[in-house]
Structure 1
Amino acid sequence: MSGGVVQYVGLFLLGVLAGEELIVRYGVHPVLSSLDDRAHLLARQALIRRLRVVVPIVMLPAAALALVGLATVTGPGLALRWATLIAMVVFLLLSFLGTVPINIKVNDWRVDAPPADWKAVIHRWARIDVLRSTAASAAFLFAVLAVAYGTAS
């Protein structure tokens, strides 16, 4: 893949990832909190089962292309490509060390008898997810700026 193709495919994937993260964070999850406890947990578990397949399909190639882009794309925008990669590393760390372990626990909960601290666990997940969705959005913004800076020069 040439540098330009890597850059544009990576940009597309980062845009899809950032859009998905923003919709889930600020569209879907606030609605969950308005549901009764059982419905909330059933919906959350259904989302976990679906998104644990969908999100990696986008995030892993996006991260890989951010790395490949840093290594292969030459010219202006190097600092922005570094910023893109750093934001993606932050996103991945927050995912694999933060939300994913919580999702694994939540997926195993009995909706009719969740743990006593389940709301605190969900609140912790939400705090991490704000950072996570922000990192995905930042990665996309930095990638857009890198492409714009590279084509404007």
Structure 2
Amino acid sequence: MLKALEVFTIVVVGLMVGVEFSVAFVINPILNGLPGDSGLRGRTHGGRMLGAVMPFWYIGSLVLVAAWAIAGWHHHGTGLVVAAAALLILSVIMSLLLLVPINNRGKTWTPENLPEDWKEQMNRWDRFHYVRVAVIVAAFALLAAALA
């Protein structure tokens, strides 16, 4: 049963990392290159869509990792799993304090109500997101190492 939990957790966390990596290094660069307000419209729509799903994915991933750590407490690699959980907690804190406030503002923007500093706010979100991606990639790597 523990093996099934480990594999399921790796898959769920790995998919989350893949989505966030794609947003950072594929989707947003594509949207930023579009003419006019097309990229902004894409980002606001993405902010609404992913903003509705990602909280459950982050918390669900953390719950799975915590369950793995508890269920496998006396098994090899538990320290790595606990470290991965700590990184996922950090990613949730970063999200709540740094990224969500910007996302909540951005998802309401239209070409008619854009603040003057909207590009600066999007760039700030991107920088915070790069750091968050690095944190969750590290958590995923720790989980993979614990499984090996």
Runs of 4+ in structure 1 deviating by more than 6 angstroms, as ranges, are none
Gap runs ≥5 in structure 1: 149-153
Q: What corresponds to 2:27 in structure 1?
A: 28
Contact 1:32 1:44 in 2 (8 A): yes
Give 1:52 shift: 1.6
Query: Where does 1:59-98 land on structure 2 (aligned, <5 Å)?
Result: 59-73=58-72, 74-98=74-98
2:118 alignment partner AA? W
- Number of residues of Structure 1 aligned to a counterpart in Structure 2: 147
Query: Where does 1:54-133 land on structure 2 (aligned, <5 Å)?
Result: 54-73=53-72, 74-133=74-133
2:139 alignment partner AA? A
Q: Does 1:52 align with 2:83?
A: no
Contact 2:37 2:111 in 1 (8 A): yes
TM-score by length of 1: 0.89
TM-score by length of 2: 0.92
Contact 1:18 1:133 in 2 (8 A): yes
Gap runs ≥5 in structure 2: none
Give 1:121 shift: 0.6
CA RMSD of aligned residues (A): 1.4
Give 1:112 shift: 2.8
